[in-house]
């Protein structure tokens, strides 16, 4: 491949405004094998995980540009390196000592931020204080592991930080290994903070201020992100890839063409049909891995008519063309979350399938019983940033609901604003994916079904029964009471399926297409690429 050819091809399909010297200037040119070229449908709207409304692509930047105290070891699942939920390794910390009601971390004394400033315990405290204080998703994420107060983070000395526990909670240590508790260069961010923005969110929205393996050197929103390796990174082995060029190419056909021509190295959001075909051709490596603790679902706002009516929600659940979606949209690259046998016992697991199947007659009957014999009108919203699956899924759902008298208008929301619109909790009907970062059933339900301050409970669902079961499961897990835990998990799953505020459709797969000379792909809970392990031969 010629460098100029790649630039011409990607500029044409992405409409990018960055010219060849911006990527390949003589001063910055890297060997082709040390540069990773990624193409995807959409890109970040914010490169700080603590930002308001940061979208999923933004997670990828934050993961690779910031360190956390700890991370996960890897294991192998079906031949794919896969994060080990229960085993941790040191990242910014060199040692972790977990006691009964606290954990103490010794920091690596040679760790520095991107600008060369030494990492100190005060930076760790400031960063964790920020996470539990800024509000929104970051603060709720920390709270999911019982990390809620700045007073819990104690500077012992320049290279020692202690995290005090509010209660015994098995999610606390794992919660320190997700993306949110990233460590920031506190002095740099504070220099760029204001009275109205005390945590410097406007600065970190556009600038990386960490010490991770990579740093952003250029970002044109909607077009391109360029990252360069931090050669002084101490969080792990120095990555083999020096430079990452991540291009936003909205057309899936163009992304596929770039891969097939060898002009791009990796893409991970092509239509499933393309992944199936590319795998059969054998010219690229295709890896498909089920989302850990994740489902795609149809959500309904249960606080307003008509979806406040249980029979309406049940009617919709019977009308969904589940198998058509599996065949025509997913091409088998997902796990069904519907159609469990009527006598199937509830498992102590999540995800697991519900017992609804497509039954148009039953759906019409329930809609009439609910007082809507002639149906009604509504909107069905989806994230345009993942249109490859969402759009055909919504079209098939629109057609099916039309058969029972529900007239659906499809509402396409740009990926950059999807999270903001979703969190307003006003969308009457929508499809979305949620994948719990901590792979425990109660963690998923804390986020998606609990009635108290749950950001991703976008159905505004409230059930004292579900809340009680979820809270009970958290306590039982901390106490090691398996019998109580099993009972509570079955309880909240049964109640959620009885009330059906959201309809699980399928457990998606992360599908990644790579050139044969690219290796080192790892599956992570956040489902994004970890550049640190990738190798290009």
What CATH number should be reported for the domain holding residue 446? 3.10.105.10
pTM of this structure = 0.88
- Give me the CATH number covering residue 91: 3.90.76.10
For the cut 70, the answer to whether the pLDDT of residue 1 exceeds it is no
For the cut 50, the answer to whether the pLDDT of residue 11 exceeds it is no
Q: Are 307 and 364 within one domain?
A: yes
DSSP-assigned states of every residue in 143-186: HTTT---GGGEEEEETTEEEEE-SS--TTHHHHTTSSSS----H
Asked, for residue 273, whether it belongs to a domain, the answer is no
Percentages of the chain per state (helix, strand, coil), in multiples of 5: 35, 25, 40
For the cut 50, the answer to whether the pLDDT of residue 22 exceeds it is no
Q: Are 375 and 460 within one domain?
A: yes
For the cut 70, the answer to whether the pLDDT of residue 24 exceeds it is no
Q: Are 110 and 53 within one domain?
A: no
Q: Are 504 and 523 within one domain?
A: no
Q: How many structural domains comprise the chain?
A: 3
- Which stretches of 15-115 are DSSP H helices? 20-24, 56-65
Rounded CA Rg of the chain: 23
Q: Tell me: the pLDDT tens digits for 117-128?
A: 999 999 999 999
Asked, for residue 378, whether it belongs to a domain, the answer is yes
Asked, for residue 43, whether it belongs to a domain, the answer is yes
Q: Are 471 and 383 within one domain?
A: yes
Q: Tell me: the pLDDT tens digits for 140-157?
A: 999 999 999 999 999 999
Q: Tell me: the pLDDT tens digits for 52-101?
A: 989 999 999 999 999 999 999 999 999 999 999 999 999 999 999 999 99
For the cut 50, the answer to whether the pLDDT of residue 533 exceeds it is yes
Q: Are 222 and 337 within one domain?
A: no
CA dihedral 178, 180, 181, 185 (to 10 degrees): 130
Asked, for residue 359, whether it belongs to a domain, the answer is yes
pLDDT of residue 452: 85
For the cut 80, the answer to whether the pLDDT of residue 422 exceeds it is yes
- Give me the CATH number covering residue 19: 3.40.190.10
pLDDT of residue 453: 65
pLDDT of residue 28: 45
Q: Copy the structure tokens of residue 528.
A: 């994004």
Least trusted range by pLDDT, from 1-10, 146-155, 373-382: 1-10
pLDDT of residue 267: 96
Percent of the chain with pLDDT over 90: 90
477-483 average pLDDT score: 96
Least trusted range by pLDDT, from 26-30, 187-191, 219-223: 26-30
Q: Tell me: the pLDDT tens digits for 449-472?
A: 999 867 899 999 999 999 999 999
Q: Alpha carbon 276 to chain centroid distance? A: 23
415-435 average pLDDT score: 94
Q: Are 180 and 101 within one domain?
A: yes
295-317 average pLDDT score: 98
Q: Are 110 and 33 within one domain?
A: no
Q: Are 149 and 230 within one domain?
A: no
What domain range includes position 220? Answer: 3-65+212-265+515-536
Q: Are 106 and 42 within one domain?
A: no
Mean of pLDDT over the chain: 93
9-19 average pLDDT score: 41
Q: Are 40 and 103 within one domain?
A: no
CA atoms within 13 A on the CB side of 290: 17
For the cut 90, the answer to whether the pLDDT of residue 256 exceeds it is yes
Q: Are 464 and 445 within one domain?
A: yes
Strands (E) across 473-536 are located at: 502-514, 518-519, 535-536
For the cut 90, the answer to whether the pLDDT of residue 437 exceeds it is yes
For the cut 80, the answer to whether the pLDDT of residue 349 exceeds it is yes
For the cut 60, the answer to whether the pLDDT of residue 200 exceeds it is yes
In whole angstroms, what is the distance from residue 494 CA to residue 492 CA?
A: 5
Asked, for residue 203, whether it belongs to a domain, the answer is no
Asked, for residue 223, whether it belongs to a domain, the answer is yes
- Which stretches of 329-463 are DSSP H helices? 360-369, 387-402, 415-423, 441-448
Asked, for residue 196, whether it belongs to a domain, the answer is no
Q: Is 306 helix (H, G, I), strand (E, B) or coil?
A: coil
Classify burial at 348, counting beta carbons within 10 Å of its beta carbon; exposed 0-12, middle 13-18, buried 19 or more.
middle
């Amino acid at each position: 491949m010629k460098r100029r050819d790649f630039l011409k091809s990607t500029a044409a399909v992405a409409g990018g405004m960055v010219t060849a010297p911006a990527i390949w200037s003589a001063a910055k040119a890297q060997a082709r094998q040390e540069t990773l070229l990624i193409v995807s449908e959409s890109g970040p709207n914010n490169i700080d995980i603590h930002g308001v409304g940061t979208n999923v692509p933004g997670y990828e930047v934050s993961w690779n540009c910031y360190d956390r105290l700890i991370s996960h070891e890897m294991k192998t699942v079906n031949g794919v390196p896969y994060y080990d939920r229960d085993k941790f390794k040191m990242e910014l910390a060199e040692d972790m000592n977990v006691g009964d009601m606290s954990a103490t971390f010794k920091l690596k004394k040679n760790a520095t931020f991107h600008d060369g400033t030494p990492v100190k315990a005060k930076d760790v405290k400031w960063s964790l204080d920020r996470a539990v204080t800024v509000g929104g998703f970051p603060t709720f994420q920390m709270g999911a592991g019982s990390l809620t107060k700045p007073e819990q983070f104690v500077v012992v000395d320049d290279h020692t930080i202690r995290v005090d526990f509010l209660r015994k909670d098995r999610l606390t240590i794992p919660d320190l290994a997700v993306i949110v508790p990233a460590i920031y260069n506190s002095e740099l961010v504070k220099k760029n903070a204001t009275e109205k923005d005390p945590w410097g969110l406007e600065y970190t929205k556009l600038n990386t201020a960490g010490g991770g393996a990579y740093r952003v050197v250029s970002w044109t929103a909607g077009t391109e992100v360029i990252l360069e390796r931090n050669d002084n990174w101490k969080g792990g082995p120095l990555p083999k890839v020096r430079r990452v060029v991540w291009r936003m190419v909205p057309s899936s056909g163009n992304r596929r063409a770039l891969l097939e021509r060898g002009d791009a190295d990796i893409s991970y959001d092509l239509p499933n049909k393309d992944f199936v075909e590319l795998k059969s051709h054998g010219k690229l490596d295709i890896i498909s891995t089920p989302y850990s603790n994740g489902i795609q679902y149809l959500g309904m706002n249960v606080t307003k008519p008509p979806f406040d009516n249980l029979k309406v929600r049940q009617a919709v659940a019977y009308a969904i063309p589940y198998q058509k979606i599996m065949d025509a949209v997913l091409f088998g690259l997902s796990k069904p979350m519907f159609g469990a046998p009527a006598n199937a016992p509830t498992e102590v697991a999540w995800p697991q399938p519900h017992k609804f199947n497509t039954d148009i007659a039953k759906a019409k009957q329930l809609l009439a019983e609910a007082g809507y014999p002639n149906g009604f009108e509504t909107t069905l919203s989806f994230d345009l940033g993942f249109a490859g699956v969402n759009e055909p899924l919504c079209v098939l759902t629109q057609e099916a609901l039309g058969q029972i008298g529900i007239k659906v208008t499809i509402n396409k929301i740009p990926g950059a604003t999807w999270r903001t619109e979703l969190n307003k909790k006003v969308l009457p009907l929508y499809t979305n994916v949620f994948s719990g970062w901590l792979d425990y059933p109660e963690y998923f339900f804390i986020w998606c079904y609990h009635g108290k301050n749950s950001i991703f409970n976008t159905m505004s669902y409230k059930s004292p029964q579900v809340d009680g079961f979820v809270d009970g499961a958290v306590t039982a897990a901390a106490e090691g009471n398996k019998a109580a835990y099993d009972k509570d998990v079955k309880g909240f799953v049964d109640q959620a399926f009885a009330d059906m505020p959201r309809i699980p459709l399928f457990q998606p797969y992360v599908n990644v297409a790579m050139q044969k000379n690219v290796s080192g792909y790892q599956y992570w809970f956040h489902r994004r690429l970890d550049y640190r392990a990738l190798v290009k031969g």
